[in-house]
Structure 1
Amino acid sequence: MLRLKPGITAKLFLAVLATAVFVVMAMTLAAQWSFSRGFLGYINELAGERLEAARPRIVQAYLAHGASWDFVRNDRPRWFRLFRPAVGADELQSSLANPGARQPSDLTGALLRATLLDAEMQFVVGHPDVRPQSPRWPLQVNGTTVGWVAIAPFETVSAAGDVRFAQSQFRASWTMGAVSVLLAALIALWAARALLRPVRQVAEATHRLAAGDYATRVDMASHDEVGQLARDFNRLAVALERNEQMRRDFMADISHELRTPLGVLNGELEALEDGVRPMTRQSLHSLQAEVATLNKLVCDLYDLSLADAGAMTHRPVPVDLAGVLQASLASFRSRLAEAGIALELRLDARALVVAADARRLGQLFGNLLENAVRYTDAGGTLRVAARCEGSAVVVEFCDSAPGVAPEHLPRLFDRFYRVEASRNRASGGAGLGLAISRRIVEAHHGEISAHASVLGGLCIAMRFALLAADASQQGGPA
Structure 2
Amino acid sequence: MRPSFGITSKLFVALFMLSIVVALAMGVAVRWRFDANFLDYVNAREAERMAVLAQGVETAYTQHGNWDFLREDRAAWFRLLRREGARARASGMGGEHLEPPAGRRFEPFPLGAPRTDSQPPLAPGEAPPMPRSPVWLLDAQRNVIIGDGPPLGPNARWHELHHNGQTVGWLAMPPRVRVPEGADQAFQAQQLRATWIIAGLSVLLAALVAVLLARGLLAPMRRMTDAARRMADGDYAARVDVHSRDELGGLAADFNHLAASLEANQKMRRQLTADISHELRTPLAVLRGELEALEDGVRPLTATSLASLQAEVSTLSKLIDDLYELSLADVGALAFHMEPLDLADAVCSAVQGFTPRLMEKGIALQLDVPAGPSYAHLINGDPQRLRQVMHNLLENTLRYTDAGGTLRVRVHQDGDWQRIDVQDSAPGVLEAALPRLFDRLFRVDASRSRAQGGAGLGLSLCQTIVAAHGGTIEAKSSPLGGLWIAIRLPVLHSLAARD
Query: TM-score, length-normalised on structure 2?
Result: 0.72
Asked if structure 2 preserves the Cα contact closer than 8 Å seen for 1:54 and 1:84, the reply is no
- 306-315 or 123-132, which moves further after superposition? 123-132
Match of 1:398 in 2: 423
**Would you say 1:438 and 2:437 are equivalent positions?**
no
**Aligned-residue offset at 1:79:** 6.0
Asked if structure 1 preserves the Cα contact closer than 8 Å seen for 2:363 and 2:407, the reply is yes
Match of 2:481 in 1: 456
**Would you say 1:106 and 2:106 are equivalent positions?**
no
Match of 2:27 in 1: 28
- Alignment counterpart, residue 251 of structure 1, candidates 267, 273, 276: 273
Code of the aligned partner of 2:263: E
Code of the aligned partner of 1:458: L
How far, CA to CA, are the matches of 1:201 and 1:328 in structure 2?
A: 57
Match of 2:126 in 1: none
CA change 1:264–1:110 in 2 (3 A) is farther
CA change 1:251–1:398 in 2 (3 A) is same
Match of 1:38 in 2: 37
Unaligned runs of 5+ in 2: 85-92, 101-132
**Would you say 1:238 and 2:260 are equivalent positions?**
yes
CA change 1:213–1:24 in 2 (3 A) is same
Counterparts of 1:192-231 in structure 2 under 5 Å? 192-219=214-241, 223-231=245-253
Asked if structure 2 preserves the Cα contact closer than 8 Å seen for 1:318 and 1:355, the reply is yes
Indicate the SS of the match to 1:449: strand
CA-to-aligned-CA distance 1:405-461 (integer Å, 9 cap, x gap): 222222222233333599995234333221221121111111111111112222110
Indicate the SS of the match to 2:429: coil
State how many pairs are aligned.
451
Asked if structure 2 preserves the Cα contact closer than 8 Å seen for 1:343 and 1:383, the reply is yes
**Aligned-residue offset at 1:183:** 4.6
How far, CA to CA, are the matches of 2:187 and 2:137 in structure 1?
A: 31
**Aligned-residue offset at 1:39:** 0.8
CA-to-aligned-CA distance 1:157-197 (integer Å, 9 cap, x gap): 34231222123223333444444445545555444455544
**Aligned-residue offset at 1:38:** 0.8
CA change 1:114–1:370 in 2 (3 A) is farther
CA-to-aligned-CA distance 1:197-229 (integer Å, 9 cap, x gap): 444444433333332223334455555554444
Match of 1:332 in 2: 354
Unaligned runs of 5+ in 1: 87-103
- 452-461 or 338-347, which moves further after superposition? 338-347
Counterparts of 1:310-349 in structure 2 under 5 Å? 310-349=332-371
**Aligned-residue offset at 1:21:** 4.2
The CA RMSD over aligned residues, in Å, is 4.6
How far, CA to CA, are the matches of 1:253 and 1:428 in structure 2?
A: 14
Counterparts of 1:351-366 in structure 2 under 5 Å? 351=374, 352-366=377-391
**Aligned-residue offset at 1:16:** 4.3
Match of 2:191 in 1: 169
Asked if structure 2 preserves the Cα contact closer than 8 Å seen for 1:342 and 1:380, the reply is yes
Match of 2:174 in 1: 151
Asked if structure 1 preserves the Cα contact closer than 8 Å seen for 2:363 and 2:404, the reply is yes
Code of the aligned partner of 2:350: S
How far, CA to CA, are the matches of 2:3 and 2:151 in structure 1?
A: 64
How far, CA to CA, are the matches of 2:139 and 2:318 in structure 1?
A: 121
Indicate the SS of the match to 1:354: strand
Asked if structure 2 preserves the Cα contact closer than 8 Å seen for 1:246 and 1:416, the reply is no
Code of the aligned partner of 1:328: A
Counterparts of 1:21-170 in structure 2 under 5 Å? 21-51=20-50, 57=57, 64=66, 80=78, 106-108=95-97, 113-114=134-135, 126-127=147-148, 129-130=150-151, 135=156, 137=158, 149-155=172-178, 157-170=179-192
Asked if structure 2 preserves the Cα contact closer than 8 Å seen for 1:51 and 1:83, the reply is no
Code of the aligned partner of 1:464: L
- Alignment counterpart, residue 301 of structure 1, candidates 320, 323, 332: 323
Code of the aligned partner of 2:269: R
Code of the aligned partner of 1:27: M
CA change 1:446–1:78 in 2 (3 A) is same
How far, CA to CA, are the matches of 1:225 and 1:344 in structure 2?
A: 57
Code of the aligned partner of 1:4: S
Match of 1:5 in 2: 5
How far, CA to CA, are the matches of 2:474 and 2:208 in structure 1?
A: 58
- 181-190 or 268-277, which moves further after superposition? 268-277
How far, CA to CA, are the matches of 1:108 and 1:411 in structure 2?
A: 98
Asked if structure 2 preserves the Cα contact closer than 8 Å seen for 1:403 and 1:458, the reply is yes
**Aligned-residue offset at 1:40:** 1.0
How far, CA to CA, are the matches of 1:146 and 1:106 in structure 2?
A: 22
Asked if structure 2 preserves the Cα contact closer than 8 Å seen for 1:348 and 1:388, the reply is no
CA change 1:54–1:409 in 2 (3 A) is same
CA change 1:406–1:247 in 2 (3 A) is same
**Aligned-residue offset at 1:261:** 4.4
- 288-297 or 77-86, which moves further after superposition? 77-86
Asked if structure 2 preserves the Cα contact closer than 8 Å seen for 1:113 and 1:152, the reply is no
- Percent of counterpart pairs with the same letter? 45
Indicate the SS of the match to 2:266: helix
- 345-354 or 409-418, which moves further after superposition? 345-354
